Chain A
Amino acid sequence: MKIAVKINDVQREFSITPGETLLELLRREGYKGVKKGCETGDCGACAVLLDGRAVNSCLVLAAKVDGHTVVTVEGLEKNGELAPLQEAFLDTGAVQCGYCTPGMLIAATDLLAHNPDPSEEEIKEAISGNLCRCTGYVKQVEAIKLAVQRMRGGEDA
């Protein structure tokens, strides 16, 4: 079947099988920033924004996104500029192996879009479906806090 999806601000059409997942479609179409870690919605490495909300793309059938909007980690940069969250992840050492990073950034993007001034607990909750085995989450929470601060025009932490 054919579907039309807006991905990272570009309107695209794909030919898909009705049983394939959004994760499979995106990786096949070259969005390799979307990572496969478990295929059961437990690790969050495959997270993308679907109509602005972060979801596990392994738990979404590609057919379902027909007519909807998807943003992957590749779409977070704007005009060649890194997003504040991406900069903050680099500055705080929140990236180690980087495999969970795209999903983590997507979850954090959803959070900040709906809650521009989250508490530490809300930050942790927002990324609680994104597993990371390298960092212990310490620096990722720090990174999101730093991004919040910068986006509100405050001083660097």
Chain B
Amino acid sequence: MTLTKVSEFVRPRNLTEAFSLLEEKKARIIAGGIDVILFPTPAERLIDITALPLSGIEGGEEGVSIGATTTMTELLESPVLRGYLNGAVCEMLRQVASPLQRNLATVGGSLMIGHPWSDLITLFLVIGADVTYFDGEEHEVPIDRFYAENIHRRRVILTGINFPAVRRGTAAAFIKFSRTAFDIALLNCAALVETADGRCTAARIAVGGTPRRAKLLVRAAAELAGKPLSEEVVVQAARAAQDEAEVGDDIRASADYRRELVGVGVYRVLSRIRERLEGSA
């Protein structure tokens, strides 16, 4: 369907030019372009940033930095990410949309639109990712702040995402409940646990598609603090997550059902993490 409001399509040569084009009039950044077409705004000017040097994946266990215009397929096929956190990012991405869309969709575009059902946000929250953006100058903020402060709604250009270094004894997992393989989540769930000497030293748990955007479950994660990741502790954390998560109704599922899924989902991601930690120990 033609976007009838759009009258101008430009490819700036650098970030500064892109940002000034964004400021001048009703304008919108376009990368992969899926959401520009599916969720049109009154934007008259589209600013294509895919020709800027914003694509690529670098790093390893010591931390990963990803350019905003890197596609989901590029992430999935990246040896760097396959080796990072037991490939948890790939585990998640394989369940995102379809290959046809993953070939188009960029990580930056996905984070800027910030769909409530986003699988990326749920996992990136537990990874403790930082978002970098440009609004005349460079910024780097933790992803939870990026959404808490609604930075994605502002006139900014998201430039990349950084994952921190992974300490020994750390594992993460992601799980998604959906009606079919190519569907958004009824609920998604991710966790990351750091351990030392058999005890949890840090943990993050998040659920998304509740049907609202993912949030960290702080109290549920606190259940793990200082304890060994035993079956009993996992069950306690899952129960705490059910109490803590804010869930609601939509056409896909009721709040009650989602609450059930929070319990099962948290239990399953933590159990998977347990297996992974045992496997690597």
A residues near B, CB below 8 A? 1, 17-21, 24, 39-42, 44, 47, 50, 53-56, 58-61, 63-64, 107, 110-111, 114, 125-126, 128-130
Contacts and interface: CB of A to CB of B under 8 A. Distances in A.
A113 B2 CA distance: 31
B281 to A, nearest CB: 29
B100 A55 contact: yes
B33 A18 contact: no
Q: 7 closest pairs, A vs B, by CB?
A: A129-B98, A19-B3, A19-B6, A63-B9, A18-B9, A129-B100, A53-B103
B100 A61 contact: no
Interface string B42-60: 0000101010000000000
Nearest to B73: A53
B2 A17 contact: yes
Interface of B: 1-9, 30, 32-34, 36-38, 46, 48, 50, 73, 77, 94, 97-101, 103-104, 181-182
Nearest to B35: A59
B100 A44 contact: yes
A81 B271 CA distance: 53
Contacts of A60: 33, 104
Contacts, number: 94
A114 B77 CA distance: 10
A50 B99 CA distance: 13
A1 B10 CA distance: 11
Contacts of A50: 103-104
A57 to B, nearest CB: 10
B33 A59 contact: yes
A20 B2 contact: yes
A65 B7 CA distance: 17
Contact of A64 (B48, B77, B98): B48
A55 B104 contact: yes
Nearest to B101: A41
A62 to B, nearest CB: 9
B30 A61 contact: yes
A110 B33 contact: no
A18 B94 contact: no
Contacts of B7: 18-19
Contacts of A130: 98, 100
Nearest to B48: A64
B1 A44 contact: no
A2 to B, nearest CB: 11
A128 B9 contact: no
A56 B100 contact: yes
Contacts of B99: 54, 107, 110-111, 125-126, 128-129
Contacts of B104: 50, 55-56, 59-60
B259 to A, nearest CB: 29
A8 to B, nearest CB: 19
Contacts of A41: 34, 38, 97-98, 100-101
A111 B97 CA distance: 16
11 contacts: A18-B7, A19-B2, A19-B5, A19-B6, A40-B38, A54-B99, A59-B37, A60-B33, A61-B46, A128-B99, A130-B98
Contacts of B103: 50, 53-55, 110
A129 B6 contact: no
B221 to A, nearest CB: 32
Nearest to A131: B182
A1 B1 CA distance: 18
B100 A107 contact: yes
A44 B38 CA distance: 15
B43 to A, nearest CB: 10
Given A1-B9, A19-B2, A44-B98, A128 B33 contact: no
A129 B97 contact: yes
A133 to B, nearest CB: 14
Nearest to A1: B9
Contacts of B6: 17-19
B196 to A, nearest CB: 37
